[in-house]
Amino acid sequence: MPPQDVVKESSKRGQRAATLSAEETQAASARVKGQRPPKIKILAGNSNRPLAEAIATCLNLPLTRATVRRFADMEIFVEIQENVRGEDVFIIQSTSFPANDNLMELLIIIDALKRASAKRITAVLPYFGYARQDRKPGPRTPISAKLVANLIDKAGADRVLTLDLHAAQIQGFFDIPTDNLFAAPVMVRDLEERFKLDDLVVVSPDVGGVVRARGLAKRIGASLAIVDKRRERAGESEVMNVIGEVDGKRCILIDDIVDSGGTLCNAAEALLAKGAIEVMAYLTHGVLSGGAVSRIAASALKTLVITDSIQPTEAVRVASNIRVLSIAPLMAEAIKRTANEQSVSSLFY
Ligand code: R5P
Protein backbone atom coordinates (compact mmCIF):
# COMPACT_ATOMS: atom_id res chain seq x y z
CA MET A 1 0.00 0.00 0.00
CA PRO A 2 1.74 3.25 -1.06
CA PRO A 3 1.84 6.05 1.53
CA GLN A 4 -0.46 8.96 0.80
CA ASP A 5 0.20 12.64 1.30
CA VAL A 6 -2.59 13.13 3.79
CA VAL A 7 -0.41 14.92 6.33
CA LYS A 8 1.71 18.03 5.76
CA GLU A 9 4.91 17.17 3.94
CA SER A 10 8.08 17.78 5.95
CA SER A 11 10.53 18.12 3.11
CA LYS A 12 10.59 21.77 2.06
CA ARG A 13 12.20 24.67 3.89
CA GLY A 14 9.34 27.06 4.55
CA GLN A 15 9.07 30.69 5.57
CA ARG A 16 10.54 31.99 8.82
CA ALA A 17 8.28 31.12 11.74
CA ALA A 18 5.62 33.70 12.45
CA THR A 19 6.51 33.64 16.15
CA LEU A 20 10.19 34.57 15.71
CA SER A 21 10.46 38.34 15.48
CA ALA A 22 12.66 39.99 12.87
CA GLU A 23 14.96 41.31 15.63
CA GLU A 24 15.32 37.87 17.19
CA THR A 25 16.20 36.27 13.86
CA GLN A 26 18.67 39.08 13.15
CA ALA A 27 20.28 38.76 16.58
CA ALA A 28 20.53 34.99 16.26
CA SER A 29 22.00 35.22 12.74
CA ALA A 30 24.50 37.84 13.96
CA ARG A 31 25.64 35.44 16.67
CA VAL A 32 26.43 32.75 14.10
CA LYS A 33 27.76 35.19 11.46
CA GLY A 34 31.34 34.51 10.55
CA GLN A 35 31.13 31.16 12.32
CA ARG A 36 30.88 27.96 10.38
CA PRO A 37 27.41 26.47 10.92
CA PRO A 38 27.74 23.48 13.26
CA LYS A 39 28.08 20.18 11.40
CA ILE A 40 24.68 18.88 12.32
CA LYS A 41 21.35 18.02 10.75
CA ILE A 42 18.02 19.39 11.92
CA LEU A 43 14.97 17.31 11.19
CA ALA A 44 11.37 18.37 11.80
CA GLY A 45 8.41 16.22 12.71
CA ASN A 46 4.95 17.60 12.00
CA SER A 47 4.11 18.83 15.52
CA ASN A 48 5.74 22.28 15.30
CA ARG A 49 7.30 23.00 11.91
CA PRO A 50 7.40 26.80 12.38
CA LEU A 51 9.58 26.35 15.47
CA ALA A 52 11.84 23.83 13.68
CA GLU A 53 12.22 26.27 10.77
CA ALA A 54 13.01 29.12 13.16
CA ILE A 55 15.64 27.01 14.94
CA ALA A 56 17.20 26.07 11.58
CA THR A 57 17.22 29.78 10.60
CA CYS A 58 19.03 30.68 13.84
CA LEU A 59 21.65 28.01 13.05
CA ASN A 60 21.99 29.07 9.40
CA LEU A 61 21.09 25.54 8.34
CA PRO A 62 18.44 24.09 6.05
CA LEU A 63 16.03 21.54 7.47
CA THR A 64 16.99 18.02 6.47
CA ARG A 65 14.81 16.77 3.65
CA ALA A 66 12.39 14.12 4.87
CA THR A 67 8.80 13.10 4.45
CA VAL A 68 6.52 12.08 7.27
CA ARG A 69 3.34 10.76 5.74
CA ARG A 70 0.42 8.42 6.40
CA PHE A 71 -0.77 5.19 4.89
CA ALA A 72 -4.50 4.99 4.14
CA ASP A 73 -5.06 3.34 7.56
CA MET A 74 -3.16 6.27 9.18
CA GLU A 75 -0.01 4.30 10.00
CA ILE A 76 2.97 6.67 9.88
CA PHE A 77 5.61 6.41 7.17
CA VAL A 78 8.95 8.24 7.35
CA GLU A 79 11.54 8.65 4.64
CA ILE A 80 14.76 10.64 5.16
CA GLN A 81 15.67 11.99 1.75
CA GLU A 82 19.34 12.76 2.24
CA ASN A 83 22.35 10.94 3.61
CA VAL A 84 22.64 11.04 7.41
CA ARG A 85 25.33 8.36 7.82
CA GLY A 86 27.76 9.46 10.54
CA GLU A 87 25.82 12.70 11.20
CA ASP A 88 24.85 14.40 14.48
CA VAL A 89 21.06 14.68 14.04
CA PHE A 90 18.57 16.72 16.08
CA ILE A 91 14.84 15.93 15.69
CA ILE A 92 12.51 18.77 16.67
CA GLN A 93 9.20 17.33 17.85
CA SER A 94 6.90 18.40 20.69
CA THR A 95 4.67 15.62 21.97
CA SER A 96 1.74 18.04 22.19
CA PHE A 97 -1.82 17.51 20.86
CA PRO A 98 -2.35 15.04 19.21
CA ALA A 99 0.12 13.65 21.74
CA ASN A 100 -0.03 9.99 20.69
CA ASP A 101 0.42 10.72 16.97
CA ASN A 102 3.28 13.12 17.60
CA LEU A 103 5.00 10.71 19.96
CA MET A 104 4.69 7.82 17.49
CA GLU A 105 6.01 10.05 14.72
CA LEU A 106 9.05 10.87 16.88
CA LEU A 107 9.72 7.19 17.62
CA ILE A 108 9.50 6.24 13.94
CA ILE A 109 11.80 9.12 12.90
CA ILE A 110 14.34 7.95 15.50
CA ASP A 111 14.12 4.41 14.12
CA ALA A 112 14.59 5.62 10.54
CA LEU A 113 17.69 7.63 11.56
CA LYS A 114 19.15 4.75 13.53
CA ARG A 115 18.76 2.37 10.59
CA ALA A 116 20.30 5.05 8.33
CA SER A 117 23.46 4.99 10.55
CA ALA A 118 23.22 8.50 12.05
CA LYS A 119 26.15 8.90 14.47
CA ARG A 120 24.13 10.51 17.25
CA ILE A 121 20.39 11.17 17.54
CA THR A 122 19.06 13.86 19.86
CA ALA A 123 15.32 14.01 20.48
CA VAL A 124 14.54 17.71 20.95
CA LEU A 125 11.22 17.95 22.77
CA PRO A 126 10.39 21.63 23.35
CA TYR A 127 7.26 20.25 25.08
CA PHE A 128 7.39 16.82 26.72
CA GLY A 129 3.81 15.54 26.82
CA TYR A 130 2.63 13.01 29.45
CA ALA A 131 4.90 14.80 31.96
CA ARG A 132 2.03 15.39 34.38
CA GLN A 133 1.69 11.62 34.80
CA ASP A 134 4.97 11.40 36.69
CA ARG A 135 3.83 9.41 39.74
CA LYS A 136 1.05 7.01 40.71
CA PRO A 137 -1.93 9.12 41.82
CA GLY A 138 -3.56 5.98 43.19
CA PRO A 139 -3.29 2.20 43.22
CA ARG A 140 -3.22 0.40 39.84
CA THR A 141 -2.40 3.53 37.82
CA PRO A 142 0.51 4.01 35.40
CA ILE A 143 3.51 6.33 35.48
CA SER A 144 3.13 7.31 31.84
CA ALA A 145 5.97 9.88 31.84
CA LYS A 146 8.40 7.07 32.66
CA LEU A 147 6.87 4.83 29.95
CA VAL A 148 7.27 7.60 27.35
CA ALA A 149 10.89 8.15 28.44
CA ASN A 150 11.52 4.40 28.05
CA LEU A 151 9.98 4.43 24.56
CA ILE A 152 12.20 7.31 23.38
CA ASP A 153 15.25 5.63 24.86
CA LYS A 154 14.45 2.19 23.39
CA ALA A 155 13.64 3.64 19.95
CA GLY A 156 17.32 4.62 19.77
CA ALA A 157 17.71 8.26 20.88
CA ASP A 158 21.17 9.01 22.28
CA ARG A 159 20.23 12.25 24.03
CA VAL A 160 17.19 14.33 24.93
CA LEU A 161 16.94 18.11 24.92
CA THR A 162 13.80 19.50 26.44
CA LEU A 163 12.39 22.64 28.06
CA ASP A 164 10.83 23.34 31.45
CA LEU A 165 9.91 19.79 32.37
CA HIS A 166 6.82 19.68 34.56
CA ALA A 167 9.00 18.22 37.32
CA ALA A 168 12.79 18.44 37.12
CA GLN A 169 13.20 14.86 38.35
CA ILE A 170 11.62 13.54 35.11
CA GLN A 171 15.17 14.00 33.78
CA GLY A 172 16.01 10.87 35.77
CA PHE A 173 13.33 8.85 33.93
CA PHE A 174 15.70 8.75 30.94
CA ASP A 175 18.75 6.49 30.96
CA ILE A 176 20.42 8.72 28.35
CA PRO A 177 21.83 12.26 28.88
CA THR A 178 18.94 14.71 29.16
CA ASP A 179 19.22 18.49 29.21
CA ASN A 180 16.29 20.40 30.65
CA LEU A 181 16.41 24.02 29.42
CA PHE A 182 14.59 26.91 31.11
CA ALA A 183 12.49 29.54 29.35
CA ALA A 184 13.16 31.91 32.28
CA PRO A 185 15.88 33.99 30.51
CA VAL A 186 13.49 34.62 27.58
CA MET A 187 10.75 35.68 30.01
CA VAL A 188 13.09 37.87 32.07
CA ARG A 189 14.17 39.75 28.93
CA ASP A 190 10.51 40.39 28.06
CA LEU A 191 9.69 41.53 31.62
CA GLU A 192 12.71 43.86 31.68
CA GLU A 193 11.61 45.43 28.39
CA ARG A 194 8.05 46.03 29.56
CA PHE A 195 7.93 46.70 33.29
CA LYS A 196 9.61 48.52 36.14
CA LEU A 197 10.81 45.44 37.96
CA ASP A 198 10.49 46.83 41.50
CA ASP A 199 6.70 47.12 41.01
CA LEU A 200 6.36 43.40 40.43
CA VAL A 201 5.51 40.42 42.62
CA VAL A 202 6.11 36.97 41.16
CA VAL A 203 3.29 34.60 42.08
CA SER A 204 3.06 30.83 41.99
CA PRO A 205 -0.56 29.86 41.18
CA ASP A 206 -0.24 26.76 43.36
CA VAL A 207 2.02 25.34 46.03
CA GLY A 208 3.57 22.86 43.55
CA GLY A 209 5.07 25.69 41.47
CA VAL A 210 6.86 27.56 44.25
CA VAL A 211 10.40 26.53 43.26
CA ARG A 212 9.87 27.71 39.68
CA ALA A 213 8.34 31.04 40.81
CA ARG A 214 11.05 31.61 43.42
CA GLY A 215 13.69 31.08 40.70
CA LEU A 216 12.18 33.79 38.52
CA ALA A 217 11.64 36.17 41.46
CA LYS A 218 15.34 35.80 42.31
CA ARG A 219 16.41 36.51 38.73
CA ILE A 220 14.50 39.81 38.63
CA GLY A 221 14.92 40.74 42.31
CA ALA A 222 11.15 40.72 42.95
CA SER A 223 9.25 39.43 45.95
CA LEU A 224 7.29 36.18 45.94
CA ALA A 225 3.68 35.29 46.69
CA ILE A 226 1.83 31.97 46.56
CA VAL A 227 -1.81 31.15 45.86
CA ASP A 228 -2.70 28.28 48.17
CA LYS A 229 -5.80 26.42 47.04
CA ARG A 230 -7.40 24.47 49.87
CA ARG A 231 -10.54 22.44 50.47
CA GLU A 232 -10.98 22.76 54.23
CA ARG A 233 -13.62 20.02 54.48
CA ALA A 234 -14.80 17.35 52.03
CA GLY A 235 -17.81 18.59 50.05
CA GLU A 236 -16.97 22.28 50.60
CA SER A 237 -15.66 24.40 47.73
CA GLU A 238 -11.98 25.32 47.51
CA VAL A 239 -10.71 28.45 49.25
CA MET A 240 -7.94 30.51 47.63
CA ASN A 241 -5.54 31.89 50.21
CA VAL A 242 -2.86 34.30 49.10
CA ILE A 243 0.41 34.01 50.99
CA GLY A 244 2.54 37.17 50.60
CA GLU A 245 1.95 40.88 49.97
CA VAL A 246 0.19 41.74 46.69
CA ASP A 247 -1.82 44.84 47.64
CA GLY A 248 -1.04 47.69 45.21
CA LYS A 249 1.34 45.48 43.19
CA ARG A 250 1.54 44.18 39.64
CA CYS A 251 1.47 40.38 39.81
CA ILE A 252 3.27 38.02 37.45
CA LEU A 253 1.91 34.49 37.65
CA ILE A 254 4.49 31.86 36.67
CA ASP A 255 3.82 28.23 35.78
CA ASP A 256 5.00 25.56 33.35
CA ILE A 257 1.70 24.62 31.69
CA VAL A 258 -1.58 26.35 30.95
CA ASP A 259 -4.08 23.70 29.93
CA SER A 260 -7.75 24.50 30.67
CA GLY A 261 -6.67 27.88 32.08
CA GLY A 262 -8.64 27.19 35.29
CA THR A 263 -5.62 27.42 37.63
CA LEU A 264 -4.54 30.79 36.18
CA CYS A 265 -7.98 32.42 35.96
CA ASN A 266 -8.83 31.47 39.56
CA ALA A 267 -5.47 32.69 40.81
CA ALA A 268 -5.91 36.02 38.96
CA GLU A 269 -9.25 36.59 40.68
CA ALA A 270 -7.83 35.77 44.11
CA LEU A 271 -4.96 38.24 43.59
CA LEU A 272 -7.23 41.07 42.43
CA ALA A 273 -9.47 40.41 45.45
CA LYS A 274 -6.40 40.96 47.64
CA GLY A 275 -5.72 44.38 46.06
CA ALA A 276 -3.36 43.60 43.17
CA ILE A 277 -3.38 46.38 40.50
CA GLU A 278 -3.18 43.95 37.58
CA VAL A 279 -2.27 40.34 36.90
CA MET A 280 -0.21 39.00 34.01
CA ALA A 281 0.92 35.41 33.47
CA TYR A 282 4.08 33.92 31.94
CA LEU A 283 3.81 30.23 31.08
CA THR A 284 6.18 28.07 29.08
CA HIS A 285 3.79 25.59 27.48
CA GLY A 286 0.49 26.81 26.00
CA VAL A 287 -1.43 23.51 25.92
CA LEU A 288 -4.67 25.54 25.92
CA SER A 289 -7.11 22.70 25.34
CA GLY A 290 -10.92 22.86 25.05
CA GLY A 291 -12.32 26.32 25.72
CA ALA A 292 -9.12 27.63 27.35
CA VAL A 293 -8.59 30.54 24.94
CA SER A 294 -12.12 31.92 25.48
CA ARG A 295 -11.84 31.33 29.25
CA ILE A 296 -8.66 33.39 29.29
CA ALA A 297 -10.21 36.08 27.07
CA ALA A 298 -13.09 36.43 29.54
CA SER A 299 -10.86 36.31 32.64
CA ALA A 300 -9.36 38.93 34.91
CA LEU A 301 -5.90 38.26 33.44
CA LYS A 302 -4.51 41.29 31.64
CA THR A 303 -2.11 39.29 29.47
CA LEU A 304 -1.03 35.70 29.10
CA VAL A 305 2.45 35.24 27.67
CA ILE A 306 3.38 31.76 26.42
CA THR A 307 6.23 30.40 24.30
CA ASP A 308 6.08 28.61 20.97
CA SER A 309 7.16 25.26 22.49
CA ILE A 310 3.74 24.13 21.25
CA GLN A 311 2.64 25.48 17.87
CA PRO A 312 0.05 28.20 18.62
CA THR A 313 -3.37 27.54 17.10
CA GLU A 314 -5.17 30.17 15.03
CA ALA A 315 -7.36 30.97 18.07
CA VAL A 316 -4.22 31.67 20.12
CA ARG A 317 -2.65 33.77 17.35
CA VAL A 318 -5.68 36.08 17.12
CA ALA A 319 -6.44 36.27 20.87
CA SER A 320 -6.04 39.87 22.01
CA ASN A 321 -4.68 39.03 25.49
CA ILE A 322 -2.26 36.22 24.53
CA ARG A 323 1.28 36.93 23.37
CA VAL A 324 3.83 34.35 22.12
CA LEU A 325 7.58 34.54 22.79
CA SER A 326 9.86 32.43 20.62
CA ILE A 327 12.24 29.98 22.26
CA ALA A 328 13.90 29.25 18.89
CA PRO A 329 17.11 31.23 19.61
CA LEU A 330 17.47 29.51 23.01
CA MET A 331 16.90 26.02 21.58
CA ALA A 332 19.25 26.76 18.66
CA GLU A 333 22.01 27.89 21.03
CA ALA A 334 21.57 24.74 23.15
CA ILE A 335 21.71 22.56 20.01
CA LYS A 336 24.87 24.32 18.85
CA ARG A 337 26.51 23.85 22.25
CA THR A 338 25.52 20.20 22.39
CA ALA A 339 27.00 19.64 18.93
CA ASN A 340 30.21 21.44 19.91
CA GLU A 341 30.45 19.59 23.27
CA GLN A 342 30.15 22.92 25.14
CA SER A 343 28.36 23.65 28.38
CA VAL A 344 24.58 24.02 28.12
CA SER A 345 23.96 24.80 31.79
CA SER A 346 26.09 27.96 31.51
CA LEU A 347 23.23 29.41 29.42
CA PHE A 348 21.28 29.69 32.68
CA TYR A 349 23.68 30.07 35.61
C1 R5P B 1 0.00 21.60 37.42
O2 R5P B 1 0.69 21.06 38.28
C3 R5P B 1 0.60 22.45 36.35
O4 R5P B 1 1.78 23.07 36.76
C5 R5P B 1 -0.39 23.48 35.86
O6 R5P B 1 -0.71 24.34 36.96
C7 R5P B 1 -1.67 22.82 35.38
O8 R5P B 1 -1.37 21.82 34.45
C9 R5P B 1 -2.57 23.88 34.74
O10 R5P B 1 -3.74 23.27 34.33
P11 R5P B 1 -5.05 24.10 34.01
O12 R5P B 1 -4.66 25.22 33.10
O13 R5P B 1 -5.96 23.08 33.38
O14 R5P B 1 -5.59 24.61 35.32
Encode pLDDT of 27-78 as tens digits.
555 555 555 555 799 999 999 999 999 999 999 999 999 999 999 999 999 9
pLDDT of residue 13: 33
Cα 27 to the chain's mean position, in Å? 21
Index of the ligand 1 atom closest to the CA of residue 258 = 12
Q: What is the dihedral of CA 261, 266, 268, 270, to 10 degrees?
A: -170
Query: How many A from CA of 291 to the centre of ligand 1?
Result: 14
The pLDDT of residue 8: 39
**Residue 76 β-bridge partners:** 70
| CA–CA gap between residue 258 and residue 206 (Å, rounded) | 12
Residue 229 annotated to the active site: yes
Q: Does residue 210 have its Cβ closer than 6 Å to ligand 1?
A: no
Whose Cα sits closest to atom 13 in ligand 1?
260
184 CA from centroid of ligand 1 (Å): 18
Q: Give me the pLDDT at residue 261, please.
A: 95
The Cα–Cα gap between 335 and 344 comes to: 9
Mutational pocket test of ligand 1: of 263, 264, 287, 304, the residue with most ligand atoms within 8 Å of the beta carbon = 263
By residue count, the chain amounts to 349
User: Which of 39, 229, 274, 336 is the catalytic position?
Assistant: 229
What would the pLDDT profile of 228-241 be if each residue is shown by its tens digit? 988 677 766 677 89
The minimum-distance atom of ligand 1 relative to the CA of 208 is: 2
Residue 6: how many CB atoms within 10 A of its CB? 10
User: Phi, psi at residue 99, to the nearest 5°?
Assistant: -55, -45
Instruction: Determine the Cα–Cα distance for residues 22 and 25; give it in Å rounded to an integer.
Output: 5
Low-confidence residues of the chain, pLDDT below 50? 1-19
255 Cα nearest atom in ligand 1: 4
Q: Is 301's C-beta closer than 6 angstroms to any atom of ligand 1? A: no
Look at ligand 1, atom 9, and give the residue with the nearest C-alpha. 258
258 CB within 6 A, ligand 1: yes
Instruction: Tell me which DSSP letter residue 127 carries.
Output: S
d(CA 128, CA 93): 9
With a 6 Å cutoff on the Cβ, whether 261 touches ligand 1 is yes
The answer, yes or no, to whether any atom of ligand 1 lies below 6 A from the CB of 167, is no
The verdict on the CB of residue 131 being under 6 Å from ligand 1 is no
Task: Decide: 45 in ligand 1 pocket, CB within 6 A.
Answer: no
Ligand 1 nearest-atom number relative to CA 259: 12
Give yes or no for residue 129 CB within 6 A of ligand 1: no
Q: Say how many Å lie between the CA of residue 316 and the centre of ligand 1.
A: 18
Residue 149: closest CA among 127, 137, 166, 131:
131
Q: Return the percentage of the chain with pLDDT > 90, whole number.
A: 83
